[in-house]
């Protein structure tokens, strides 16, 4: 296991309306080339930051995986983030591919990781044809995979997260909602050939019900994707990533992540570790 790592915080990648959004980059110290994970944080597309991966970044880099945590534009009361947020995550991935030699990253061993709203974006990005030559694994943690369904579920909330994201209701923009929903994308267009998925969800999640993952898993399997699952008894929401002073969030050495970590690492080792360089 690699023990030394390099951390580069707030590296500009050109995202956002003003082109000033940044990535946090965590790199193994050994020469590589290393497999890479590009990670998208949760926060209902309206909150959070790339700093939420401050625990997983060093932990995975110490085990041979480069990790890039992406900051993307957020929805505001007067400004929906779609479709610009999707352009941000595409730009972040293109940045990683362009910088792969300098970062000692193997561009053919890429994994996409996301939690909650970030799981939605990771799953959506995985379906794009230009991503497929680079993609070896997808990890979604309590993700939102069906916008139409979650829009209905969250109509009782004052913040209307899906409406704030899209700027319109499903009745006003039904095709946009379908196009921006990973589950509908899988059902309509299939999945990346041979790319495995690891879908993780808490069984007591009060914010994103685990049926979002269950229905996405069913769609993935119907489309022929290899899928592994981990449903965590008693686990709620927000625990996968970490920020200080937010009690729902957990470090890697705390449960539920203490249980998740070896499962995640085994999944990554089986699907990303083999390649031309050391990992």
HEC string for 147-193: HHHHHHHHHHCCCCHHHHHHCCCCCCCHHHHHHCCHHHHHHHHCCCC
Q: How far is the C-alpha of 175 from the C-alpha of 120, rounded, in Å?
A: 17
Q: How far is the C-alpha of 216 from the C-alpha of 183, rounded, in Å?
A: 5
Q: Domain limits at 102? A: 5-271
Query: How much is the pLDDT for 22?
Result: 98
Angle between helices 117-125 and 84-103 (to 10 degrees): 70
Q: Residue 134 has what DSSP assignment?
A: G
Q: How far is the C-alpha of 116 from the C-alpha of 44, rounded, in Å?
A: 7
pTM score over 0.75 = yes
The CA distances from residue 182 to 32, 78, 140, 279, in Å, are 32, 26, 11, 30
Query: Does residue 232 fall inside a structural domain?
Result: yes
Number of domains making up the chain: 1
- Per run of 10 residues, the mean pLDDT along the chain (length 279 residues) is 83 96 96 96 96 98 98 86 95 98 97 98 97 97 97 93 95 95 96 96 98 98 98 98 95 98 98 63
Query: How much is the pLDDT for 2?
Result: 45
Query: How much is the pLDDT for 278?
Result: 42
Query: Does residue 118 fall inside a structural domain?
Result: yes
Q: Are strands 197-202 and 135-141 parallel, antiparallel or unpaired?
A: parallel
Query: Does residue 279 fall inside a structural domain?
Result: no
Query: Does residue 184 fall inside a structural domain?
Result: yes
Query: How much is the pLDDT for 4?
Result: 86
Q: Give the list of residues 6+ apart from residue 273 with CB closer than 8 angstroms, or none.
A: 35, 64, 279
Query: Does residue 277 fall inside a structural domain?
Result: no
CATH number of the domain bearing residue 29: 3.40.50.1820
> Distance between terminal CA atoms of the chain?
9
Query: How much is the pLDDT for 80?
Result: 86
Query: Does residue 276 fall inside a structural domain?
Result: no
Segment 91-118, tens digit of pLDDT:
999 999 999 999 999 999 999 999 999 9
Nearest CA-CA partner of 38 in 107, 128, 116: 107
Query: Does residue 113 fall inside a structural domain?
Result: yes
Query: Does residue 221 fall inside a structural domain?
Result: yes
């Amino acid at each position: 296991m690699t023990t030394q790592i390099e951390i580069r915080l707030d590296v500009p990648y050109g995202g956002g309306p003003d082109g000033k959004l940044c990535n946090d980059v965590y790199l193994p110290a050994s020469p590589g080339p290393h497999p890479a994970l590009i990670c998208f944080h949760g926060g209902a597309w309206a909150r959070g930051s790339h700093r939420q991966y401050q625990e997983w970044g060093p932990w995975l880099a110490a085990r041979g995986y480069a990790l890039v945590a992406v900051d993307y534009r957020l929805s505001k009361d007067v400004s929906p983030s779609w479709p610009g947020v999707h352009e941000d995550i595409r730009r972040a991935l293109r940045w990683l591919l362009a910088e792969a030699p300098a970062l000692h990253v193997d561009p053919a061993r890429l994994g996409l990781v996301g939690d909650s709203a970030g799981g939605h974006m990771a799953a959506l990005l995985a379906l794009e044809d230009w991503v497929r030559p680079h993609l070896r694994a997808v990890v979604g943690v309590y993700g939102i995979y069906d916008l139409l369904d979650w829009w209905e579920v969250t109509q009782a909330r004052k913040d209307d997260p899906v409406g704030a994201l899209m700027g319109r209701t499903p009745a006003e923009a039904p095709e946009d909602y379908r196009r921006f929903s990973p589950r509908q994308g899988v059902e309509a267009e299939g999945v990346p050939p041979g790319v495995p998925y690891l879908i993780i969800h808490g069984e007591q999640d009060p914010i994103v019900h685990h049926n979002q993952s269950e229905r996405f898993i069913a769609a993935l399997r119907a489309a022929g994707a290899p899928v592994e699952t981990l449903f965590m008894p008693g686990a709620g929401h927000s625990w996968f990533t970490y920020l200080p002073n937010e009690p729902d969030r957990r470090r890697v050495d705390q449960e539920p992540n203490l249980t998740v970590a070896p499962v995640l690492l085994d999944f990554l080792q089986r699907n990303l570790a083999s390649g031309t360089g050391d990992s």
